[in-house]
Homo-oligomer: A and B are copies of this chain.
Amino acid sequence: MSTRIYAHYMIETPYHVEHAANVMAGEQSSGTFTRLANETDALREAHGAIVESIEMLDALDAPSLPMRADLAPQGHTLFQRARVKLSWPLENMGPSLPNLVSTVAGNLFELKEFSALKLLDIELPDSFASVYPGPQFGITGTRQLSGISSGPMIGTIIKPSVGLSVAETANMVEQLVVGGIDFIKDDELQANGPHNPLRARVDAVMPIINAHAERTGKKVMYAFNISGDIDEMRAQHDYVVAAGGTCVMVAVNSVGLAGVTYLRRHCEVALHGHRAGWGMFSRSPHVGMAFTAYHKLWRLAGVDHIHVNGLRNKFSEEDDSVITSARACQTPMFETPDAGYQIMPVFSSGQSAAQVTDTYQALGNSDLIYCCGGGIMAHPGGIAGGVASLRQAWQAAMTDIPMATYAREHRELAQAIEAFGQ
């Protein structure tokens, strides 16, 4: 069993790539700009990061990110791109999530040797799994909590994002549960503002969900956005649980790793991770973090779901990237059995029945939450029609029947195709 931490990067440098990679390794372990007397060979042997591999990519004739002119190497003309793999002994920081981040994603993005540097992936020794319990419910537990044993969980987001009163929110929830929805979430902008306080929202929403559950046996999962300070989140979580809720949501970047880790240890329901702000890490190809690295941090912290955007979304993300992210969520994280830490990817943004076939074919399974706004609300048959059309679209996809064929005998799907295309 490995006791080393591995991290994969994309780098770009006007220096020799081997030199640049050694600078990264040195700076993030035992090295300094100039070697010190007390940086002994034994210390370096025990604690130095190792450059495990370098894979040369293309070279550019201009730097992708600005570099300081006074620090450029003499006579350089090319900016070489490469994939680099580094490793560290666990001994350096122990199995600590915040200190892992300081090591693999700390003071290296500014290093003068680089005109681009992005963290692509991390591989962690199993000892992290013994310290961080990871997702408490994950895919299987979320299905148990919601009673949706197969197929996707069909979901939606309360809109407008912010501004609805508690009563208006409850009214919307009533329509949604009657319409057959599986999952509802607060927008990431709607947390505990004075016009719609979290507890008043819980008081108004949960009786509707509970009454529906008593009538039908189906408890719709509502992700209450409890993002906030530590004591506040803990108290709000308890309030949601006491009211019979089955899910709380946090904007993970806004709360941070220590906060999410803390909440997970206390949490009794599914923990829905919203990645608002993710574009800061992802939007530039030249700096930041790829989703594969990023989402592992939050799985370790303990989220059960995380957002991955959707095919043909309304943002700048490409479809390939969306599917890569969703697959990553479903891929085991550790070698130890029972430490797969698989979580449910949450698809959203401009989704309707139109993207279902492509989503299923690209992902190969339906272990996901499929959130639609207009795809449900703007369906000609109303909310119930929208939800039905999505189930029909998934049924068609999962049984390998062309959507148009399936739509001949399924009116709501036919209406969705008419309204949203296919």
Residues on A close to B: CB < 8 A? 28-34, 36, 38-39, 43-44, 46-48, 65-68, 71, 91-94, 96-99, 101-103, 105-112, 114, 117, 159-164, 168, 172, 188-189, 191-195, 227-231, 233, 251, 253-262, 274, 276-289, 314-318, 350, 373-374, 377-378
The answer to whether B164 touches A38, judged by C-beta atoms less than 8 angstroms apart, is yes
Contacts of A258 in B (CB 8 A): 228-230, 233, 255-256, 258-259, 262
Contact among B92, B229, B282 with A193 in the assembled complex (CB-CB below 8 Å): B92
Contacts A251-B102, A257-B259 given: A280-B230 contact, CB under 8 Å? no
> How far, in angstroms, from A4 to B246 measured CA to CA in the complex?
34
The answer to whether B103 touches A189, judged by C-beta atoms less than 8 angstroms apart, is yes
The answer to whether A284 touches B287, judged by C-beta atoms less than 8 angstroms apart, is yes
Contacts of A277 in B (CB 8 A): 101-102, 105-107, 109
Per CB-CB distance, the 7 closest pairs between chain A and chain B, nearest first, are: A256-B256, A109-B279, A258-B259, A47-B163, A106-B276, A110-B279, A98-B254
A62 nearest CB across to chain B (Å): 12
Contacts A160-B36, A230-B262 given: A191-B99 contact, CB under 8 Å? yes
The answer to whether A66 touches B285, judged by C-beta atoms less than 8 angstroms apart, is yes
Contacts of A28 in B (CB 8 A): 189
Contact among B47, B228, B316, B374 with A112 in the assembled complex (CB-CB below 8 Å): B316
> How far, in angstroms, from A280 to B114 measured CA to CA in the complex?
13
> How far, in angstroms, from A53 to B404 measured CA to CA in the complex?
49
The answer to whether B110 touches A315, judged by C-beta atoms less than 8 angstroms apart, is yes
The answer to whether B106 touches A373, judged by C-beta atoms less than 8 angstroms apart, is no
> How far, in angstroms, from A239 to B48 measured CA to CA in the complex?
29
Query: What are 6 sample pairs from A and B whose C-beta atoms fall under 8 A apart?
Result: A29-B163, A46-B163, A98-B259, A230-B262, A256-B256, A284-B287
> How far, in angstroms, from A39 to B159 measured CA to CA in the complex?
8
The answer to whether B38 touches A101, judged by C-beta atoms less than 8 angstroms apart, is no
Contacts of A350 in B (CB 8 A): 33
The answer to whether A195 touches B47, judged by C-beta atoms less than 8 angstroms apart, is yes
Contact among B38, B102, B287, B314 with A283 in the assembled complex (CB-CB below 8 Å): B287
Contacts of A117 in B (CB 8 A): 279, 283
A406 nearest CB across to chain B (Å): 27
Contacts A97-B229, A99-B227, A188-B107 given: A162-B30 contact, CB under 8 Å? yes
The answer to whether A102 touches B191, judged by C-beta atoms less than 8 angstroms apart, is yes
> How far, in angstroms, from A68 to B378 measured CA to CA in the complex?
26
The answer to whether B227 touches A98, judged by C-beta atoms less than 8 angstroms apart, is yes
> How far, in angstroms, from A287 to B279 measured CA to CA in the complex?
8
> How far, in angstroms, from A195 to B29 measured CA to CA in the complex?
13
Contact among B109, B188, B251, B316 with A280 in the assembled complex (CB-CB below 8 Å): B109
The answer to whether A251 touches B106, judged by C-beta atoms less than 8 angstroms apart, is yes
The answer to whether A192 touches B94, judged by C-beta atoms less than 8 angstroms apart, is yes
Contacts of A91 in B (CB 8 A): 193-195
A138 nearest CB across to chain B (Å): 21
A257 nearest CB across to chain B (Å): 5
Contacts of A256 in B (CB 8 A): 255-260
The answer to whether B374 touches A31, judged by C-beta atoms less than 8 angstroms apart, is no
Contacts of A257 in B (CB 8 A): 254-256, 259
Contacts of A161 in B (CB 8 A): 29-32
Contact among B38, B44, B68 with A168 in the assembled complex (CB-CB below 8 Å): B38
Contacts of A159 in B (CB 8 A): 32, 36, 38-39
> How far, in angstroms, from A48 to B161 measured CA to CA in the complex?
10
> How far, in angstroms, from A287 to B116 measured CA to CA in the complex?
14
